[in-house]
Amino acid sequence: MKALLDTNVVLDAMTGRKGLDRSAQQIFELAANEKIDVYLSANTVSDIYYILKRQQGAVRAHEALSYIFSLFSIASVDDTDCYKAFSSDMDDFEDALLVECAIKAGLDVLVTGDKELLRAQTSIKIVPPSELI
C-alpha cells in the first residue's frame, strides 16, 4: 500500500492533537515498520516546517523534518501538477494539488482529516487516517 498524507495528518501525529493523534501516530508506526509506503508532497514538507517552527521553534521543526525524512518518501510537485490542480473541478487548490500529486506518483490512497476533501470525487481513493489503519 502506498499512501500520501495530507499536512493535517502529519501535524496531528507530531503535535498530539487530542482525538486525532492516535490513528495518525499509528500510520507513522506502520511506515517505521515498513508495513506501508508513505509519501508527503514537497509542499506539505514546507508547510509542516513553517507551522512547527512558528509553534515550537526552529530546532523542533528541524528535528521533525529529520524524523519525517527517515520515514517517508517525498513526492515532487511540478508546474504540470499546479496547472492541472488549478484547472480541476475542485474548489480548494491545495486539495487539488494533493490529488494531482498522488495520481502522478501512482499512489493507492490519499489520507486526510479534511472533511471537505474526504467528500471529493476523484480518481484516487481518499480516506481518513482511521480507515487506512
pLDDT value of residue 127? 97
Secondary structure element (H or E) that encloses residue 6, with its range: none
Domain ranges for the chain, please list them.
2-132
pLDDT attached to residue 54 = 95
CATH of range 2-132; options 2.60.40.10, 3.40.50.1010, 3.40.50.1970, 3.40.50.970: 3.40.50.1010
pLDDT value at position 56? 92
pLDDT for res 98: 96
From the centroid of its chain, how far is CA 9? 6
Report the C-alpha gap between 5 and 132 in whole angstroms.
Answer: 11
> Mean of the pLDDT values across residues 35-42?
97
pLDDT in tens, 101-126: 999 999 999 999 999 999 999 999 99
DSSP 111: E
pLDDT value for 16: 78
**pLDDT at residue number 3:** 98
Residue reference for cell 482511521: 130
Q: Tell me the per-residue pLDDT of 57-103, one tens digit each, with 9 for 90 and over.
A: 999 999 999 999 999 999 999 999 999 999 999 999 999 999 999 99
At residue 20 the predicted structure's pLDDT band, cuts being 50, 70 and 90, is: low
Q: b or e along 62-98 (b: 16 or more beta carbons within 10 Å of the residue's beta carbon)?
A: eebbeebeeebeebebeeebeebbeebebeeebbbbb
- How many CB atoms are located within 10 Å of the residue 131 CB? 12
